[in-house]
Structure 1
Amino acid sequence: MSKHLPPKDVPESIRNVPLPDALSERYLAYALSTITSRSLPDARDGLKPVQRRVLYAMRMLKLDPASGYKKCARVVGDVIGKYHPHGDQSVYDAMVRLAQDFAQRYPLVDGQGNFGNIDGDNAAAMRYTEARLTEVANVLLANLDDDTVDFRPNYDGEDEEPAVLPAGLPNLLANGASGIAVGMATSIPPHNLPELCDALLHLIKHPNAGIEKLVEYVQGPDFPTGGLLVEPLESRIEAYKTGRGSFRHRARWQKEELPRGTWQIVVTEIPYQVQKSRLIEKIAELITDRKAPLLDDVRDESAEDIRLVLIPKSKNVDPAVLMESLFRTTDLETRFPLNLNVLDGGRLPKVMNLREVLQAYLDHRHEVLERRSKYRLSKIEHRLEVLDGYLIAYLNLDELIEIIRREDEPKPVMMKRFNLTDVQAEAILNMRLRSLRRLEEMELKTEHKALSKERDELKTLLDDEALRWQAIAGEVQELKKQFGPKTALGKRRTTIGDAPVISDEAFEVLVEREPITVICSAKGWIRAIKGHAVDDGSATFKEGDKGRYWIHAETTDKLLLFGTNGRAYTIACDKLPRGRGHGEPVRLTVDLGNDQDIVTLFKYQGARKFLVASSDGRGFICPEAEMLAATRSGKQILNVAAPAEACVCRSIEGDTVAVVGENRKLLLFPLDQVPEMTKGRGITLQKYKDGGLSDARVFTLKQGLSWVDSSGRTKSESDLKEYHGERAQAGRVVFRGFNKNNRFD
């Protein structure tokens, strides 16, 4: 028998499992644990487990807003000892964030001591800081003792913790959330609470309300650091419809006049989650590197409020142009992502839209109301039962006293004699002698009447869903009244607006205009050298590489790169690496994949048109202006499906299209047979049985077809009648003397 075989007497609890199956099973369990127990917030109360446990532990320590502060170390100790058996620093970090008014729109922890600042400085150690709950946290925790939510055993089974909080306010959207789980993430910006209340009230009245209508109430994020939201309305609506998107958030600034016609710019609010110290460092680097030619200096004059002073180089500079240049190059403008990926019902991760998130909160509040009403009803019925027993006792007081004095076991005798329940008999026996006053009977009758009325109201409420939603609407209205737009906490801080439109010509003054020569190698290494140099073979390249593009341009120009993935990329010439070295890979400047290559690289002029085509023989005409991309990810122009790829991008100069295939067949047809488009697959230019398109170009028929041979000489052919045809034909074998690589250059 082989020594590798398992023994025969293997216990039943041990089973043989293939290693890949065992790994996938355990990794899936780890992933689910991370998603549900650490990283994603619950859609109902907007909290992650560690945040919920911090608030619950503080409540158990009676750290309400009216009480004194307690050391944060005491809170953290209770959290990790009873509910969250992880590192104390992670718990303290979560607690600190809940207390930072620049991180939380509605802070849930009232901190005393150093809890960090907007410069990025860390909070003091937990032994030096103190904390208590805020009024907002009180609203989240209200009615927790009224059986409104489920409790579950803690990690060691010796205690209990709430699975979710009653959440008297829509905390998920009000304070936002962020987190990275296994294979998924969430990013929710904070919003204005009064606006959320208005949206909730509208949704109660109109359960099928559209996103467009809800966005009229929830206009966009309301960041604790203020600033301006300059995202267009259409983009905001689309983001809230899909649950994914982003919002442009920029700093608030103003022009401050100085003596003798000079001025300076003062920044008073910066984007959310931007560290002020890092922002100042970045601006200072731009000044040092001469990449901010309009800016002379930056000063930080902040105290409790933010005050960044920007000094222009000249009083003749346009302040708007200066600020727009900084918005483009610094974190004075950021994009905050929206990814409404939350735990639906505390169980399953799901990307929700705005209506679904609001409805999930309303459904939770409806369940809380039902459970709270049933709990209160049971308490009332128990109390009424006791009161009925008390009233019987008052009517038969002497006889009851006599039974208690004489009987060894008075309880069953009382129950039989006066038809009492066990609860009533026990309550009578536990009644104090001082309660035997005559006046007490009247008070009991008054209490009995009030409780009977409340019982009837609760039964009516539980039987009528419309009344329950009316009660929830009343709670939302009270919430809006408590944190209304006129209060310091409820007033909107982030202004909704539009970014000023400034032409590209205005930004040319930001770059010193000088001639350069752009050199790009065959392997995609790009650089720029000063002046319009001649390609005399003196340029050096990495081993195994060679020159491919040699372009004369200026620092104010833009380059267009067309890739084999059909995307067009824009490169600013002033951003290219300078010097006589090898430069850097163009893939560091644009998001061109490692499995993609450059089809062509040229200087952007704006008014030309280009023939673009793919290796499967499809193409169209695209205006040059439509190929300009705003981001490094480029702009999809030609849609290609593997294994085909883009292979042609040539400027149009002529009236006839020439296409040649890998099968060495040439076809000529009129240019007007090719449509002009901005994006798409295009139409078939040439058909092939085997292979695909090799090259294409546009030429003037009267001048003949020219090409460049392997020696660099230009040749031409004017006798082309037999190659004329219609678009999408196969063509004929090319004439003798044409390039063996089947290309026109």
Structure 2
Amino acid sequence: MTEPSDDLSPAPNTVSEPLSRAIGERYLTYALSTIMHRALPDARDGLKPVHRRILFAMRELRLSPSGGFRKSAKISGDVMGNYHPHGDAAIYDAMARLAQPFAMRYPLVDGQGNFGNIDGDNPAASRYTEARLTAAAEALLEGLAENAVDFRPNYDGTLEEPIVLPAAFPNLLANGASGIAVGMATNIPPHNMDELIGACLHLIQKPDTSDENLVALIPGPDFPTGGVIVEPRESILEAYRTGRGAFRLRARWQVEDLGRGTWQIVVTEIPYQVQKSKLIERLAELIQTKKVPALADVRDESADDVRIVLEPRARTVDPEMLMGMLFRNSDLEIRFSLNMNVLIDGRVPRVCSLREVLRAFLDHRREVLIRRSQHRLDKIAARLEVLDGYIIAYLNLDRVIAIIRTEDDPKVALIAEDWGGGVFLTEPQAEAILNMRLRALRRLEEMELRAERDRLLAERADLTGLLADEAGQWKRIGDQLREVRRAFGKDAPGGARRTGFAEAGVVEEVPIEAMIEREPITVICSRMGWVRAMKGHQPLGAEIKFKDGDGPRFVLHAETIDRILVVGTNGRFYTLLGANLPGGRGMGEPVRLMVDLPNEAEIADLVIFRPGEKFLVASSDGDGFVVAAEELLAQTRAGKQVLNLRDGGRTAVCRAVAGDHVAVVGENRKLLVFALEELPEMARGKGVRLQKYKDGGLSDAITFRLTEGLMWKDPAGRTRTEPDLTEWLAKRATAGRMAPRGFPRDNRFT
């Protein structure tokens, strides 16, 4: 029996390496694969591998723009089986996007069926839709059969696919691109083909032209959904110079007069990549939450075109102001970022400027021109060789026929035969003669053969001269670009610029008064925290109905434009807008549905915000300070923490400052009066001690003018005044003395 070995050394084929290095190398391989083969487009043809393979597979299926359609399932299946070994759903989604006129400025796939819409609905399943190439896609593919680009084996080595397409126009900028790789991303908006070709022609004539001149020819993106760019020209120029930046894009709108002074706003173009259905939902949410009170209703009346109707709440609303608020609060205005991170020569990712991207395209077109010209020269050389053989055969037709009829191996005999003056046939010539049909013999006329040879010789001379003349090459490229311009430029159907330019204007701050119709209201809040607003200023002592077990707590006069400050016992302040309060017909709504007031907190007070006012805030522990009213406004439902509390403490006082002294009364009925200047003014904090207690805490505090004396209401409702307060006047944070005779039993000043 063999004993187990104690040798724990690794097997001969095992390689040991640190875990960090192993993970790092493998992750780097994955990152490079993602960058080069998935996420970033090639600067030459503007395509990612999946899009390039879709177009190439459709070309192989002969789906030309003038031909018939094929099922999308067939196309995506061929792409997956032959070139792109990934999910068919991902391939179909990529192909569907190439067919969407609201996503592509110049669609590369002509779709038949439901390929999605601007509302954000998904395309129908691939078995229901059909597709073929567009003329723009054909222009990208033109030259593949003429050795214009290199090919590589597909994923299993059974077929070949192009590394890049010849690309007759700068597709990278014409249709844009977006993608997220590992550690880098790209986002390029679409542009107008006519402007791009104009810039390319200018760059051919003046290779060292400035960025300013290029931006003068390409003023900005041209989105398929239109809209209006409101980005300053300086920012656009800087974005194109550096390859990074952003464009502010707004919806296009107009005011539609309905007669009798009424009007509505109609949005006819929405920003690029904004789903119309989600935009409508957002606008409806703004109406429901009353974030834009001037907007009363939104309707989607779109058919084939976009038509979103916005109704104002009143005819006095300023349309510019209303749209300014909507631009701030919805996707009627977006910022489309520019990040021209592309693969240069298909290998090196780099953030390029506008000129560098156009230069990469032009250099690619020159290489394509040279390769196609060389390919044509090779074809001409082969054809001239065959024509020379045909001429020899024509001059010696009887001898050729005799050799073919009598020789066992006529090809060898034709090559070995001396046709006079030491002229022999080459193997391609002999092969061409043998492959000729008998019916072609009658067409072997010497004049026709020599005429074709002369045409080919002239063409060869022209191509040879072209390959030797760089200026001639650029002239030929310019002619080709002008042909593309005629096919897809501003005079072609759909070629005119769709996105306009305008000044942004000032929409940052719109006063609340401009959006709301100013009306008096009476704000009512019950003991259980139900709030409502009755129209007009109702008598404060009028009888009001409440739910069973509930009753009045706060009643105050306000206006619809007022902000109501809800003071929580947790030290937080919440803001309600008078116009947003529920109407007074019902019982109202709980405040907790409008703001995020915790269940353990209660409403300590309800006050109206007045700019420039100051408030005395204090806790039940006897700490407090003075705070400006502007510091109490909250921008969100969560409110704003103003008064910091100790454990078990609560907000006891929030009173508007009106006077020069403070009167504080504790639960022990001791009263203290001190100068207001002893209190600090703060934005947030615990404050300073107002009054000293052995037991209990603060009951109430108020500010008043010492010269007018301290006033309160007695149990009978009569106003009492204590003019001489010398007995209670002391420094802040002292204990104070017992309240004067007749002071309310509830220890409250009001």
Whether the TM-score (by the shorter chain) exceeds 0.5 is: yes
Change (3 A) 1:241 1:580: closer
For each residue in 1:304-331, what CA deviation from the matched residue of structure 2 results, as whole angstroms up to 9, or x when unmatched?
A: 1110000001111111111111011100
- 1:712–1:391: structure 2 CA closer, same or farther, 3 Å change rule? farther
Question: Is the aligned partner of 1:189 residue 2:271?
Answer: no
The code of the aligned residue for 2:494 comes to L
The change in CA–CA distance for 1:518 and 1:302 in structure 2 (over 3 A counts) is same
Q: Would the alpha carbon gap of residues 480 and 414 (structure 1) be closer, same or farther in structure 2, given more than 3 Å must change?
A: same
Other-structure match for 1:405: 405
CA contact (8 A) 1:301 1:309 kept: yes
> Where do 1:128-527 residues align within 5 Å?
128-416=128-416, 417-418=418-419, 419-437=424-442, 440-501=445-506, 504=509, 509-510=514-515, 513-514=561-562
In the alignment, which residue of structure 2 is the partner of 1:552?
Answer: 629
| Mapping for residues 597-636 of structure 1, pairs under 5 Å | none
CA-CA distance at 1:526 after TM superposition: 8.2
CA contact (8 A) 2:113 2:128 kept: yes
Q: Compared with structure 1, are the counterparts of its residues 519 and 245 closer, same or farther at alpha carbon in structure 2 (3 Å cutoff)?
A: farther
Taking structure 1 as reference, are residues 485 and 412 closer, same or farther at Cα in structure 2, changes over 3 Å only?
Answer: same
Alignment partner of 1:575 out of 632, 635, 640 = 635
Residue correspondence of structure 1 range 22-61 to structure 2 within 5 A: 22-61=22-61
Name the counterpart of 1:63: 63
**Aligned match of 2:11:** 10
Alpha carbons of structure 1 residues 161 and 498: separation in structure 2 relative to 1, 3 Å: same
Q: Match of 2:588?
A: none
Cα shift at 1:483:
1.1
1:507/1:580 CA distance change after superposition, 3 Å = closer
Map Cα deviations across residues 463-522 of structure 1 (whole Å, 9 max, x no partner): 111100110011111111111212222110001221234584556523764356699999
2:94 is aligned to 94
Residues 1:576 and 1:58: Cα distance change in structure 2 (over 3 Å)? same
In the alignment of these two chains, the number of paired residues is 563
Amino acid in the other structure paired with 2:637: P
C-alpha distance in structure 2 between counterparts of 1:438 and 1:87, whole Å: 55
Going from structure 1 to structure 2, the CA distance change for 1:219 and 1:712 (only over 3 Å counts) comes to: farther
Question: Is the contact between residue 394 and residue 445 of structure 2 (CA under 8 Å) also seen in structure 1?
Answer: no
Cα distance between partner residues in 1 of 2:412 and 2:444 = 28
Q: Which amino acid aligns with 1:454?
A: E
Distance 2:640 2:247 in 1: 41
Residue 535 of structure 1: how far off its partner (Å)? 1.5
The 3-state SS of whatever aligns with 1:304 is: coil
Q: Give yes or no for contact 2:616–2:625 (8 Å, CA) kept in 1.
A: no
What CA distance in whole angstroms lies between the structure 2 residues aligned with 1:239 and 1:309? 34
Structure 2 contact 39–180 (Cα < 8 Å) conserved: yes
1:253-289 deviation line (CA, Å, top 9, x unaligned):
0000012110000000000000111111111111111
Contact residue 572 and residue 639 of structure 2 kept, 8 A? no
The corresponding residue for 1:536 is 618
Q: TM-score, normalised by structure 2?
A: 0.71
CA–CA separation in structure 2 for the residues paired with 1:50 and 1:539: 69
Alpha carbons 1:178, 1:188 under 8 Å: kept: yes
Query: Which of 131-140 and 394-403 deviates more?
Result: 394-403
Quote the offset at 1:455 in angstroms. Answer: 0.6
Residue type at the aligned position of 1:16: S
SS of residue in 2 equivalent to 1:292: coil
Q: Distance in 2 between matches of 1:443 and 1:507?
A: 88
Distance 1:208 1:551 in 2: 61
- Structure 1 residue 574, shift from structure 2 partner: 6.0
- Report how far residue 432 of structure 1 moved: 1.5
Over the aligned positions, Cα root-mean-square deviation in angstroms equals 3.0
In 1, Cα distance between the equivalents of 2:178 and 2:28? Answer: 22
Greater Rg over alpha carbons, structure: 2
CA distance in 2, matches of 1:397, 1:438: 12
Q: What is the CA distance between 1:575 and its match in structure 2?
A: 2.4
**Unaligned stretches of 5+ in structure 2?**
517-559, 577-605, 610-614, 645-681, 684-731, 735-750
Determine helix, strand or coil for the equivalent of 2:463. Answer: helix
Q: CA deviation digits over 1:196-225, x for unaligned, max 9?
A: 000000000111111111001111000000
Partner of 2:121: 121
Secondary structure at 1:576 match in 2: coil
Give the superposition deviation at 1:10: 2.2
User: Do structure 1's residue 112 and structure 2's residue 172 form an aligned pair?
Assistant: no
Identify which range, 66-75 or 483-492, moves more after superposition.
Answer: 483-492
Partner SS, residue 420 of structure 1? coil
Structure 1 residues 505 and 427: alpha-carbon distance in aligned structure 2, compared to 1, 3 A threshold: closer
Taking the aligned partners of 1:199 and 1:297, their CA distance within structure 2 comes to 45
SS class of match (1:148): coil
CA contact (8 A) 1:516 1:554 kept: no
Q: Distance in 1 between matches of 2:314 and 2:223?
A: 33
Distance between the aligned counterparts of 1:515 and 1:331, measured in 2?
Answer: 27
Between the aligned partners of 1:503 and 1:74, the Cα distance in structure 2 is 53
Pair 167,330 (structure 1): closer, same or farther in 2 beyond 3 Å: same
Following the alignment from structure 1 to structure 2, what is the Cα–Cα distance between the partners of residues 275 and 6?
66
User: Residue 575 of structure 1 aligns to which amino acid in structure 2?
Assistant: Q
- 1:310, 1:539 → 2: CA distance? 52
TM-score (norm 1): 0.72
Q: What is the alpha-carbon distance in structure 2 between the residues aligned to residue 549 and residue 52 of structure 1?
A: 69
Give 1:353's aligned amino acid: S
Distance (Å, rounded) in 2 between the aligned partners of 1:366 and 1:516:
70
- Give SS of 1:258's match: strand
Structure 1 residues 162 and 538: CA distance shift in structure 2, 3 A: farther
Give the Cα separation in 2 of the matches to 1:52 and 1:488: 25
CA contact (8 A) 2:249 2:336 kept: yes
Matched-pair contact (CA < 8 Å) for 2:572–2:640: no
Unaligned runs of 5+ in 1: 541-545, 556-572, 585-649, 652-710, 714-745
Change (3 A) 1:239 1:293: same
Deviation, structure 1 residue 5: 9.0
Deviation at 1:536, TM superposition (A): 1.1
Structure 1 runs (4+) deviating above 6 angstroms are: 3-6, 516-522, 546-549, 580-584
Distance 2:377 2:239 in 1: 43
Gap change, CA 1:521 and 1:52, over 3 Å in 2? farther
Letter in 2 for 1:450: R
Q: CA deviation at 1:576?
A: 3.2
Give how far 1:115 is off.
0.6
Judged with a 3 Å threshold, the aligned counterparts in structure 2 of structure 1 residues 249 and 488 are, in CA distance, closer, same or farther, namely same
User: Contact conserved, 1:227 with 1:493, CA < 8 A, in 2?
Assistant: yes
Amino acid at match of 2:315: K
Amino acid at match of 1:425: A
Question: In 1, Cα distance between the equivalents of 2:6 and 2:236?
Answer: 63
